Amino acid sequence: MSSIDQPLNGKILLITGGASGIGLSLTKQAHDIGAKVLVADLKTTSDFDTFAAGKNNILYVQSDVTQWRDFTKMFDACEKKWNDVPDAYGICAGLFDPPFSNFWQDPEQDEGYKQVDVNVNHPIKLTRMALRKSLSKGKRASVCIIASVGGLTGSIAAPLYCATKHAMVGFVKSMKDTEPLTGVKITTLCPGGVMTPLFDAQKLKQYSVTENRSLTPEVCAAHLLDLLQKKEYACGSVLEVTLKGSRLIPEWNIPPPEGEGTGQEMMTDEFVGNLLGPIKAKLESERGGSKI
């Protein structure tokens, strides 16, 4: 099973963080091409409220992505509204080193880093639930997670943020061979600096951010829609977007490791069969007899 074009016209798109920033631009662009849009966010914004007013194909569900029970609330609302599960997912909710979750300020104690909950645990868990929901319905789907160029490099000022975005790049690369098993394509977008509400006054100064040196949310949303819809972006695609343009990041940024103990020498049919056996059995149980 290979990647296919998955146009969103008439389909359901679930967007976390869809009331502001890149997520809001994705909400607007997806609605404009005929998608049914479920927006999950902590709260709405005046811009979102104005755009969504009177639009029957936009559904807002108040959600906290650090609370996994709220994911169930999203799916329940989707099935109640449209009698189906989503066809696509734009996973946009994220944190960028806020004062309450910051490596250098280190305010968090026993509860752990909230930034990891939002930027890592939420996309991974929602992706897993998307696989299960799509398998149960026997339908193809597409997932795109917003990462960052910070997931391809590092920053002394934001090591925790960069670590979370590296995690997303590694997760999506790990999923590159899963579409034939699940029918779900998983990709990630790695934009450079974007002028969004994540940059408050303090961060604008700290990172020397200006509009002429920043991407717009609209440009990022357009690329995210391409990743969701176009078969040219295969499962596992990592798309970097900067003011200079866009490029697909190869699986290996360096020559792959060689020799015993690297795993590369073990890719025999028997090894792969053993590796995938438990995964295939689990997915088959979730399929419930439905066929993609």
Residue 256: predicted pLDDT: 65
Q: Average pLDDT, whole number, for the chain?
A: 91
Q: How far apart are CA 250 and CA 178, in angstroms?
A: 17
* Encoded amino acid at 86, one letter: P
Contact 18, 90 (CB under 8 A): yes
Residue 236 CB coordination number (10 Å): 19
Query: How many Cβ atoms sit within 10 Å of the Cβ of residue 200?
Result: 12
Nearest 10 degrees: Cα torsion 204, 209, 211, 216: -90
Average pLDDT over residues 151-167: 92
Q: Beta-carbon neighbour count of residue 283 at 10 Å?
A: 17
User: What gap in Å lies between CA 141 and CA 228, rounded to an integer?
Assistant: 9
Q: What is the pTM of this model?
A: 0.90
Enclosing H/E stretch for 142? strand 141-146
Q: Tokens at residue 51, please?
A: 């755009």
Domain boundaries along the sequence of the chain = 12-253, 255-292
pLDDT for position 81 = 98
User: Residue 220: what pLDDT?
Assistant: 95
CA dist., res. 11 & res. 6, Å (int): 9
Mean pLDDT, rounded, for 273-281: 78
pLDDT digits (tens, 9 = 90+) for 133-155: 999 999 999 999 999 999 998 88
Give the whole-angstrom CA distance, residue 199 versus residue 203.
5
Report which residue type is found at 78.
C
Show the CA angle centred on residue 237, arms to residues 231 and 242, nearest 5°. Answer: 105
Q: Provide the pLDDT for residue 280.
A: 85
d(CA 152, CA 239): 11
Class of domain 12-253: alpha beta
Tokens 């399929």 correspond to what residue?
287
Which tens digit of pLDDT belongs to each residue from 188-223? 999 988 878 777 888 778 777 787 888 899 999 999
For 225-264, the pLDDT digits (tens) are 999 999 999 999 999 999 888 999 998 876 766 665 545 5
**Least confident range of 5-19, 104-118, 152-166, 271-285:** 271-285
Strands 36-41 and 58-62: parallel
Q: What is the mean pLDDT of residues 103-109?
A: 88
**What burial letters (b/e) apply to 215-234, b meaning 16+ CB within 10 Å?**
bebebbbebbbbbbbbeebe
Q: Residue 110 above 60 pLDDT?
A: yes
pLDDT tens sequence across 45-77: 999 999 999 999 999 999 999 999 999 999 999
d(CA 47, CA 197) in angstroms, rounded, equals 12
Please tell me which residue, 109 or 34, carries the higher pLDDT value.
34
| CB-based contact 133:74 (threshold 8 Å) | no
The rounded distance, in Å, linking the Cα atoms of 174 and 216 is: 29
Percent of the chain with pLDDT over 90: 68
Residue 214: predicted pLDDT: 83
Contact between residue 172 and residue 127 where contact means Cβ atoms under 8 Å apart: no
Average pLDDT in the 19-30 region? 97
